[in-house]
Chain A
Amino acid sequence: NAGVTQTPKFQVLKTGQSMTLQCAQDMNHNSMYWYRQDPGMGLRLIYYSASEGTTDKGEVPNGYNVSRLNKREFSLRLESAAPSQTSVYFCASSEGWGIQETQYFGPGTRLLVL
């Protein structure tokens, strides 16, 4: 039982390049999330998927797109990377949608945009 896995662990991009961050969970959870963590800012929600087939914007969605490929997988795409997107990205999942649902986090992807 791996929980939430993320690939890659680390990536360096040049400004304007695109990439997709992958996330998968094996806990049969319905809801999945993407956060970014920046120094002095805490974790901020980028996008979420309350259930398979739905996606919604979070607090900081600009410059990102997401795909809920199936119940297990939720990917985050940067179409044209910018230095402001240098951050650590965390994927999370929860059994259901609601404030009392515990979120389980992956180990993170560290992204550097030059």
Chain B
Amino acid sequence: DQQVKQNSPSLSVQEGRISILNCDYTNSMFDYFLWYKKYPAEGPTFLISISSIKDKNEDGRFTVFLNKSAKHLSLHIVPSQPGDSAVYFCAASGGTDKLIFGTGTRLQVFP
């Protein structure tokens, strides 16, 4: 049973516009959420995180929003750049300190 779900396998966005990547979770014990970015032939790299005591966290062009009642988080990238083209994984943790990853969304930013 997938506890962290990324229902959109891919997303295509024009350069300069907003990219919105979505993630849903089922386990109400999760209280810490992260986004990782992965380029081909490389390992994932940490992008941004949010604790359940917050509903928003910003870091430059990247903002993560958390809606606890809906068990939903989203990553906004504004403005999108071609270098943002990658696979994005959301991950969640709570209780056991182990990360549970979603299946990933492939973002393509075109000129």
Contacts and interface: CB of A to CB of B under 8 A. Distances in A.
Interface of A: 4, 35, 40-45, 48, 58-59, 90, 92, 97-100, 102-108
Nearest to B92: A99
B49 A100 contact: yes
A48 B4 CA distance: 20
A48 B43 CA distance: 17
B46 A100 contact: no
A42 B104 contact: yes
A102 B89 contact: no
Contacts of B91: 43
B93 A99 contact: yes
Contact residues of B: prevailing secondary structure: loop
B44 A105 contact: yes
Interface of B: 2, 4, 31-32, 36, 41-46, 49, 51, 89, 91, 93-94, 97-99, 101-104
Given A58-B98, A59-B98, A100-B32, A105 B103 contact: no
Nearest to B39: A107
B89 A42 contact: yes
Given A90-B43, A99-B94, A105-B45, A44 B32 contact: no
- Closest 10 interchain pairs by CB? A105-B43, A42-B101, A99-B93, A43-B101, A99-B32, A42-B103, A102-B46, A105-B44, A99-B97, A106-B43
Contacts of B101: 35, 42-44
A113 B98 CA distance: 28
B41 A98 contact: no
Contact of B98 (A45, A104, A105): A45
Contact residues of A: prevailing secondary structure: loop
Contacts of A45: 98-99
Contact of B41 (A43, A59, A102, A108): A108
A78 B49 CA distance: 33
Nearest to B95: A99
Given A48-B98, A97-B97, A103 B32 contact: no
A92 B36 CA distance: 13
